[in-house]
Structure 1
Amino acid sequence: MTRPVTVVTGGGRGIGAATCLRLAADGHDLVVGYRADRAAAEAVVAQATALGARAVAQQVDVVDEASVDALLDAAAPLGTLTGVVANAGAARAVGRLADAAFDDLRADLDVNLLGVVTTCRAAVRRLGRGGAIVAVSSVAARLGSPGTYVHYAAAKAGVEALVVGLAREVAADGIRVNAVAPGTIWTGFHQDPERPAKVAATVPMGRAGQPEEVAAAIAWLLGPDASYATGSVLEVTGGL
């Protein structure tokens, strides 16, 4: 049987790395996209290979069209592209909006919204019938994240609007488009590494999540059991 071939942006760490390993275990071959840390991406490739997958690491700047095209084209030696996970994200500006540096705001908006738009645009040009896209949003899109990063929340709300619109746009082409919206997850994303512990008391389940819990949701949305799901945002938030 033909194995699924999936590209994951931001695949070298956190939710992206956990997603790559979950997909490898589920029988996918992989392109692990990374921005700067090649060693981390290669470590994910090695772990995925140990799970029986074929995997390659590919550097990408998600706000550069040619770079995103090269990332998705790197899947060709593995077979027909069947899935894309738009996971790359950043939060350079943390705190009140009025205090944020403009360059940090622009960089965050570029990666978190334009980067997803660019990745999805390239994906729908290459995916055939049965293809699937999953974008990684955030519960911040619904909560707004006042005092932390309202601009990031705004970008993620844009991602969710993109998912709804694009899903309807390409449904007749047989391509599904969905999103996952994690809550606070134990990853290296946070500038304060103890933030997940600090916010645990505000989560109904009483804890922050693990990246593997988000990866499981992404894997489901990519898979055949989600064949009638498109334009959906699946929250993985511990009840927030």
Structure 2
Amino acid sequence: MGVLVVTGGSRGIGAAICGLAATRGWDVVVNYSGDPAPAEEVAERVRSHGAQALAHRADVSDEQQVSGLFSAAAELGPLVGLVNNAGITGNTPGRLDEQSVETVRRVLDVNVTGVFLCCREAVRRLSTRYGGPGGAIVNVSSTASRNGSSGEWVHYAASKAAVNTLSLGLAREVADEGIRVNVVSPGLVETGLHAAAGMPDRLDRISAAVPLKRAGQPEEIAAAVLWMLSPEASFTVGAVLEVGGGR
């Protein structure tokens, strides 16, 4: 298939995307920003499926580090796909008027500027306008972009709404340059995000509001992302696919 860069690929949804991509024939660059051990574990899982893998540390909000990420990806071969999965909530749930400006700025830097920077680097490599082969970009959003996440992470929800709009505009810019841009928007998913934010009971508390009466699994989100990357989605451009159990 070619080389796929997955930001935030060391844990949760990102790790599931990397693992499933390997079974579909992708070589994978596992991006991470903190502890290298989980990223290396994911890379080993990718290799166990016979694919190439590289774990690369980069803060997606930093322009130079993003450039380095894509330069490192070239070591595996030509880039064909990008999944912008890296994202943070700020880990401080509460009302908007309780949030610090530092928290909000950091969330916007990672969740919005990070997507912009990675998309820009990918377009410069994939677009036929620059002599590239074409490819696919999938940006991971959240159903919070629609429901607002009031009382918890309004700033996070706003950042994900920005991802949706960025994706739609970019999709229309580059569709005739061989690049398909789409969004997968997960709902409540069983990852470590909730406990890290100091709400280990959040899954149990909110699951009752999901029509399926459960949280999703990272692998269910990964399946949607891999479909968006695949030739089966060849006529899908600028779409936002919600994978949220009906909530």
Q: TM-score, normalised by structure 1?
A: 0.97
Q: Which of 19, 28, 31 is the equivalent residue of 1:30? A: 28
Amino acid at match of 2:41: A
Matches within 5 A, 1:1-240: 3-92=1-90, 93-127=92-126, 128-190=132-194, 191=197, 192-240=199-247
**In the aligned structure 1, how far is the partner of 2:29 from the partner of 2:89?**
24
Give 1:231 shift: 0.3
SS of aligned partner of 1:147:
coil
SS of aligned partner of 2:193:
coil
SS of aligned partner of 1:228:
coil
Greater displacement, 8-17 / 113-122: 113-122
Give 1:194 shift: 2.7
Greater displacement, 68-77 / 31-40: 68-77
**In the aligned structure 2, how far is the partner of 1:193 from the partner of 1:228?**
40
Is the CA contact 1:137–1:179 (under 8 Å) kept in the aligned structure 2? yes
**In the aligned structure 2, how far is the partner of 1:51 from the partner of 1:170?**
32
Greater displacement, 72-81 / 222-231: 72-81
5+ residue gaps in structure 2? 127-131
**In the aligned structure 1, how far is the partner of 2:240 from the partner of 2:2?**
22
**In the aligned structure 1, how far is the partner of 2:125 from the partner of 2:191?**
31
Is the CA contact 1:75–1:81 (under 8 Å) kept in the aligned structure 2? yes
Amino acid at match of 2:156: Y
**In the aligned structure 1, how far is the partner of 2:87 from the partner of 2:33?**
10
Greater displacement, 34-43 / 92-101: 92-101
Amino acid at match of 1:169: E
**In the aligned structure 1, how far is the partner of 2:111 from the partner of 2:99?**
16
1:111-159, CA deviations, whole angstroms, 9 ceiling, x for partnerless residues? 1111111111111111134300000000000001110111111110000
Amino acid at match of 2:147: L
Is the CA contact 1:137–1:181 (under 8 Å) kept in the aligned structure 2? yes
**In the aligned structure 1, how far is the partner of 2:18 from the partner of 2:28?**
7
**In the aligned structure 2, how far is the partner of 1:103 from the partner of 1:141?**
21
Give 1:79 shift: 1.3
**In the aligned structure 2, how far is the partner of 1:222 from the partner of 1:106?**
30
Give 1:193 shift: 2.7
Is the CA contact 1:129–1:173 (under 8 Å) kept in the aligned structure 2? no
Percent identity among equivalent residues? 55
Give 1:195 shift: 1.3
Q: TM-score, normalised by structure 2?
A: 0.94
**In the aligned structure 2, how far is the partner of 1:185 from the partner of 1:68?**
27
